[in-house]
């Protein structure tokens, strides 16, 4: 998988993708990440890449010329996406689509924005990682690289992890536990220690369904609601009411400060 990133701060992208899982994948040749400094295509001695906007207004705008020149010099893998607020919201489905390509490329914006001709004449689309404002696209690029990179075959030690994680099935992941079985009086559910894989699978599905229903009802709605069988499963094996109340307290900002672990 080859990923090219065009940015004014290549060290930010390179450093964030040089550790842990993605760092190992790069070392092992599974991910070929190449960062390109847009300033290298500036034509003046100050390496200027921005200018004031036509029509007036605050801030500076990244010029079209160095961006076009950088992309044309490299001829990166397509699709080529601009990172910005007007694009498709990045999610697990889009991560999976990108992972199916042999590669893709990203352009990181900065300052007040980027010349609109980059959007209309150069890129294949635009991606946003959420409805909030960042100083630039470098952190967003790191998010996308990690989300996509971990889906590349061989990057994860256990490829089954990819299909059981949150969002991969349209549901949040079930609760996870590890040793010790009893921690300060809080015990791991008996079903997970039973050795009965059928019971474990049914319990995990019930937990995922209930957890998604209470924390992300939009995901349940997107999949057309719960089936009759799923409702029965949640009724039989779903979390206790006190657990659901705790989930709701953390899920909704108005209730968050009143969670018993946090005080009033």
Report the CATH number at residue 6.
Answer: 3.40.1280.10
- Tens of each residue's pLDDT in the chain, 264 residues: 999 999 999 999 999 999 999 999 999 999 999 999 999 999 999 999 999 999 998 899 999 999 999 999 999 999 999 999 889 999 999 999 999 988 999 999 998 899 999 999 999 999 999 999 899 999 999 999 999 999 999 999 765 455 555 566 789 989 999 999 999 999 999 999 999 999 999 999 999 999 999 889 999 999 999 999 999 999 999 887 777 776 666 665 555 555 455 454
The answer as to whether 264 is a domain residue is: no
Give the chain's mean pLDDT. Answer: 90
- Domain count for the chain: 2
| 6 and 133 belong to one structural domain | yes
| 18 and 143 belong to one structural domain | yes
| 9 and 113 belong to one structural domain | yes
Which of 107, 122, 149 represents a domain boundary (last residue)? 149
Bridge pairing between strands 61-62 and 50-51: antiparallel
Which of 149, 176, 207 represents a domain boundary (last residue)? 149
* Count of beta carbons in the 10 Å neighbourhood of residue 146: 16
**Residue 37 to residue 107: CA distance in whole angstroms:** 10
**Residue 4 to residue 20: CA distance in whole angstroms:** 20
**Can you give the pLDDT at residue 244?**
72
Please give the residue range of the domain that contains residue 31: 2-149
**Residue 117 to residue 220: CA distance in whole angstroms:** 39
């Amino acid at each position: 998988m080859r990923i090219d990133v065009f940015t004014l701060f290549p060290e930010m992208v390179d450093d964030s993708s040089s550790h842990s899982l993605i760092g190992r994948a790069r070392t092992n040749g599974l991910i070929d990440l190449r960062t390109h400094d847009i300033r290298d295509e500036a034509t003046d001695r100050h390496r200027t890449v921005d200018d004031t906007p036509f029509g007036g207004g605050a801030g500076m705008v990244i010029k079209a010329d160095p961006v076009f020149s950088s992309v044309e010099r490299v001829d990166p893998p397509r699709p080529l996406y601009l990172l910005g607020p007007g694009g498709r919201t990045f999610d697990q489905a889009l991560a999976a689509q990108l992972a199916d390509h042999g590669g893709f490329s990203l352009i990181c914006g900065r300052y007040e924005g980027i010349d609109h001709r980059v959007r209309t004449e150069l890129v294949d689309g635009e991606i946003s990682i959420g409805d909030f404002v960042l100083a630039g696209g470098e952190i967003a690029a790191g998010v996308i690289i990690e989300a996509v990179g971990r889906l590349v075959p061989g990057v994860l030690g256990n490829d089954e992890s990819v299909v059981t994680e949150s969002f991969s099935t349209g549901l949040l992941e079930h609760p996870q536990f590890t040793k010790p079985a009893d921690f300060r009086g809080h015990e791991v559910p008996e079903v997970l220690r039973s050795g009965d894989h059928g019971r474990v699978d049914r319990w995990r599905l019930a937990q995922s369904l209930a957890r998604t229903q209470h924390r992300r009802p939009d995901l349940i709605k997107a999949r057309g609601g719960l089936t009759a069988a799923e409702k029965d499963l949640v009724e039989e094996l779903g979390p206790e009411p006190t657990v659901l109340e705790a989930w709701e307290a953390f899920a909704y900002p108005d209730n968050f400060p009143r969670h018993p672990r946090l005080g009033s």
